[in-house]
Amino acid sequence: MNVPRVLIISALDPSGGAGMLMDLRAVRGAGAEGVAAVAAITVQGPRGVRAVHPVSDVILIAQIETLVDELSIGAIKIGALGAAENIRAVSAFLHSHPQLPVVLDPVLKPTHGVDLMPRDALVELRRGLLEVATVVTPNKDEAGTLTGIEVSDVKSMRKAAKQLLSMMGPDGDHWVLVKGGHLAGDPVDMLMGRSKSHTYHGKRRPGEYRGTGCALASAIAAGLALGMDVPQAVTKARRLLLKWMDQAEPRQEPKHLRP
């Protein structure tokens, strides 16, 4: 039996706590196989991102085209792309391959360190990538930056989710998962589609965890590659993430997930 593959398009975190290496582990932990195209190389460790070095858009697209041409890809997960040119190139590629479900984690800024995306790239993300995404998974700050809506509670989270959904275009099965882990109090996530929505309530875990956004989006992509619909994939991915957080190794701070 062939195991479905997820194509990861993201930046390399050499420490493995986030980015592409976390994506690949999470995809495998969710029951699929991962392959990867490197969009940028970061200089970072557990204390934060020190520098971001994007690869050229020509090299990035060459990686993607080769993997899609030679392998059977069931879904795509996009993380940090590092440059406006890379966003434009990936967007153009995905417009020509509309059959592939896409999970977009709009990584703009890490918890600690320099920005992962320059200002000019934000325009390209709004204009190009959002409309080809099946699911977009911003945290509260990313949702606020993309929409201009300050997300501070469930009400503003719902407003931002609706705005993002309208930005994804009128056609297709689009979904928005706004993550509320950074809200005050217990965490709340909100999944919104064209005709339905669901709110997930959780309990605050002590300490800080690296790579949770990467792992969640990648596990959702794995679920889509396995044939689940979006709500099923999100529900399973959240369940897996909570399991991984509970099993996180506290050998360094923040805690290190081991999907």
The structure's pTM equals: 0.95
Quick one: what percent of the chain has pLDDT higher than 70?
A: 98
- SS3 state at 192: strand
pLDDT given at position 213: 94
Kindly state the average pLDDT of the residues 180-202.
Answer: 90
How much is the average pLDDT of 193-212? 89
At residue 207, does pLDDT exceed 90?
no
Contacts of 23 (CB under 8 A, 6+ apart): 8, 10, 34, 36, 77, 79, 214, 215, 217, 218
Look at residue 47 and tell me whether its pLDDT is greater than 90: no
Long-range contacts of 183-188 (CB under 8 A, 24+ apart): 183/140, 183/151, 183/152, 183/153, 183/157, 184/152, 188/154, 188/157
Taking the C-alpha atoms of residue 55 and residue 72, their distance in angstroms, rounded to an integer, is 24
Domains of the chain: 5-137+213-256 (3.40.1190.20)
Residues sharing a CB contact under 8 Å with residue 16, sequence separation 6 or more, in sequence order: 22
Q: Which of 147, 133, 61 is nearest to 104 (CA)?
A: 133
**Which has the closest alpha carbon to 67: 17, 42, 33, 106?**
33
Instruction: Return the pLDDT at 251.
Output: 61
| Residue 253, pLDDT above cutoff 70 | no
Q: Which of 77, 177, 72, 179 is nearest to 129 (CA)?
A: 77
